Amino acid sequence: MKVYVSVKQAGRRKAYLTKEELILTRIPTSLRELITEVITGNVAEYNKKAEEHVLLKYLSFDDIENEVQAGKVGFGERFNTQQADSAQAVDTTMTAFTDGLFRVFVGDQEISTLDGPLEVKEADVLTFIRFTMLAGRMW
């Protein structure tokens, strides 16, 4: 099943919000299954990137400008060769959701329960909004 994930892009040369295609291997029936599918795929992609070896890495002018807008210019090198653990990543994500650190929307509808029924259709847009704690005191 093909769905789209709404992604915020750092940099002014690209659209601020874009949609990236995501292929789900099976239709999720709950938010827990959807998050597990997305996280497992992202961990596999992350681990695969660590195994790639590039002989000569370079940045184009546009790449440099976009990274300047994001606040850090780098080649995207990973110096830590340790592979990410998919099960641990899923556990951490579930804890973050139950702690209210991010919200999930399918289209314009917020999904607020992990194990409630979920209806995801072909070409739906998924939005994950991560909340950032502000610096300072709470009291």
What burial letters (b/e) apply to 16-31, b meaning 16+ CB within 10 Å?
A: eeeeeeeebeeebeeb
Summary count for the chain: helices (H), strands (E): 3, 5
Q: How far apart are CA 49 and CA 89, in angstroms?
A: 17
Q: Specify whether the CB–CB gap between 61 and 45 falls below 8 A.
A: no
pLDDT in tens, 5-17: 987 655 555 556 7
Q: How far apart are CA 137 and CA 139, in angstroms?
A: 6
Q: Is the pLDDT of residue 106 over 70?
A: yes
For residue 77, the model assigns a pLDDT of: 67
pLDDT in tens, 125-137: 999 988 877 776 6
